[in-house]
Amino acid sequence: MDNLKLPWWLAGTAFALAATFLVRDAYIASVVNLIAIAALTAASLRFVMLMGELNFATAAFVGIGAYATGAAITILNWPFLAALLLGGVVACLVSIVFGYITLRTKGPYFLLIGFAFTEAVRILYSKSSALGGTSGMIGIFPPAALDAWMPTFIMAVSALLIFGLYVLERSDFGKILTAIRDNENVARTVGLDILLCKIACFAAASFAAGIAGSLHAFANNVISPGDFSFLVAAFALAYVKVGGEDNVVGPVVGSVLLVILGSYALGLGGQEHIFYGGAIVLAVLALPHGVTGLAKRGFAALSGRGR
């Protein structure tokens, strides 16, 4: 638990929140919301990457969170905060069951099963008439008093959860995850219950993904099955790879960069897919440690500590 770099976190969060106070334009507010939600989703994806697995079911858990919140608000008339929390809790519970079965597998099997899960869950939404079928759910509004402060609120929740994941990563639990990634059999020989640790990691990440989904539902007011295809996870992966997966700031930097550039490209009538695809391919081929890795090397070279 040493050195959590709290001053940096406080400064960064304060800066992000202060920036949202200045936003009064509806379009910019929506981009800010997108960035905050994207950063949270990417942080969730990266958290499972800590134990060496690529979790494409992230997209499914974002969707489950959004739909749980949507159902709580429009069908059950739950209060705002309870509905928000429900998204995370439901995603977390589903992920425990799903993880219990699938985390016995590794690598390509886990990746592909997450992919199939995302598609299966999406078919379930579109089949369920209570959840609005293929057209989705409408009218998921935050309380009127909070309406003007949505970007600030979303940013704050997102920052809090990313910080939470960071604390977990720096704790002893995070070290266990690294041990599992490096060699899970060695970790098992010292008496660790590997499956339990993997499920815990998966559940924590899915809670964050579920909350990201809830925030998405509140930010957009409308959700439909098409919003939660595997592309959600693919885009999150783009944020992680472009930003750099070696540290927690990477996904945030990647989200800010790609969402802003992507919105700009959309405004120019550009193709979103070509843009994101090109970004991933370039990042993987040219920047193996992402933008933050490049910046780190740059600083190291400048201060004469680099190679």
Q: Using CB under 8 A, list all residues that contact other proteins.
A: 49, 52, 54, 101-102, 104-105, 107-109, 111-113, 115-117, 119-120, 123-124, 126-127, 231, 234, 237-238, 241, 271-281, 283-285
Closest approach of Cβ 251 to other proteins, in Å? 14
Place of tokens 């929506």: 30
Closest approach of Cβ 28 to other proteins, in Å? 26
Q: Of 12 and 133, which has the nearer Cβ to other proteins?
A: 133
Q: Of 102 and 214, which has the nearer Cβ to other proteins?
A: 102
Contacts of 236 (CB under 8 A, 6+ apart): 38, 41, 42, 44, 45, 58, 59, 251
Q: Of 179 and 242, which has the nearer Cβ to other proteins?
A: 242
Closest approach of Cβ 7 to other proteins, in Å? 33
Q: Of 22 and 274, which has the nearer Cβ to other proteins?
A: 274
Q: Of 231 and 295, which has the nearer Cβ to other proteins?
A: 231
**Closest alpha carbon to 210 in 72, 16, 112:** 72
Closest approach of Cβ 284 to other proteins, in Å? 5
Place of tokens 């994101």: 276
Instruction: Tell whether the torsion through CA atoms of 271, 277, 283 and 289 is positive or negative.
Output: positive
Q: Of 119 and 193, which has the nearer Cβ to other proteins?
A: 119
3-class SS at 279?
helix
Distance CA 185, CA 188 (A): 5
Closest approach of Cβ 169 to other proteins, in Å? 18
70 and 140 in contact (C-beta within 8 Å)? yes
**Closest alpha carbon to 33 in 217, 229, 243:** 217
Instruction: Tell whether the torsion through CA atoms of 256, 140, 269 and 229 is positive or negative.
Output: positive
Rg from Cα positions in the chain:
19
Closest approach of Cβ 304 to other proteins, in Å? 31
